[in-house]
Amino acid sequence: MRDFLMRYGTPFTAGLFLVSAVSGLALFFGWQQGLFHQMHEILSLVLLVPVAIHLWRNWRPLLAYFRHAAMPLALAASLVAAAVFAYQSSGQSRGGNPAFAVMSAAQNAPIAQLAPVLGLDAATALQRLANAGYGTVAPDDSVTAVAERNQVEPFAVMATLTAKVS
C-alpha cells in the first residue's frame, strides 16, 4: 500500500488538479453548471488526499522553501486574496450574486406589486394563493409573510405564483 501511495500520490494530484481547474473554469464562465458543479466540489475534496500524500512524501523539500521569502509571501498573498473574497461575500460590502438580490426583493415586495412582474394582475395572484390553500392573502402581504403564516418555504409560495396554468 505504501508503495502505491508513494508511486501515485503526485500523479493523482496532477490529474485531479486538472479536473478541478477545468471544472472551475467551466463554472466561472457559466458553462454547463449542472454538469460541472458537483464534479468540481466532490473531486476537489478528493484532491486533498493525494495532495496530503504528496506533501508527506516531499516534506523536507517543502520546508526548504521557507528559507526564502517567496513561500511566506505567496502564502500571505493567498490569505489576503481569500480574505477579500470572504469579506465581499459576508454582506459587509456591495456585491454578491444579483439573482439572490432580485429573489430577496421579490419575496419581500407586496404581492400587488410583484404580480405584474410575474405577468399576473393582483387579483389573479391573490386567487392563486387562495386556491392553493394559503388562506386569505392581502394585496400588501409579501411572499415571505404568506410563507411564514403557512409554515412553508417562500419558494413554495413563489412556485404557486409562477406555475403555468393550462
63 falls within a domain: no
Q: What residues contact 100, with CB distance under 8 A and at least 6 apart?
A: none
Is residue 106, in this structure, part of any structural domain at all? yes
Residue at 131 is within a domain: yes
Same-domain pairing of 111 and 151: yes
Domain that holds residue 15: 1-57
9 and 40 belong to one structural domain = yes
pLDDT at 99: 80
Taking the chain (166 residues) in consecutive chunks of 10 residues, what is each chunk's mean pLDDT?
A: 78 94 92 90 94 88 92 94 86 66 91 94 94 94 95 93 85
Cα torsion 112, 113, 114, 115 to 10°: value is 50
Residues 158 and 112 in one domain: yes
Looking at residue 32, what is its pLDDT?
86
CA distance 166 to 69: 68
Note the pLDDT of residue 105: 92
What is the count of structural domains for the chain? 3
Which residue, 113, 99, 118, 105, is CA-closest to 162? 118
Same domain, 143 and 130: yes
Q: What pLDDT is attached to residue 92?
A: 56
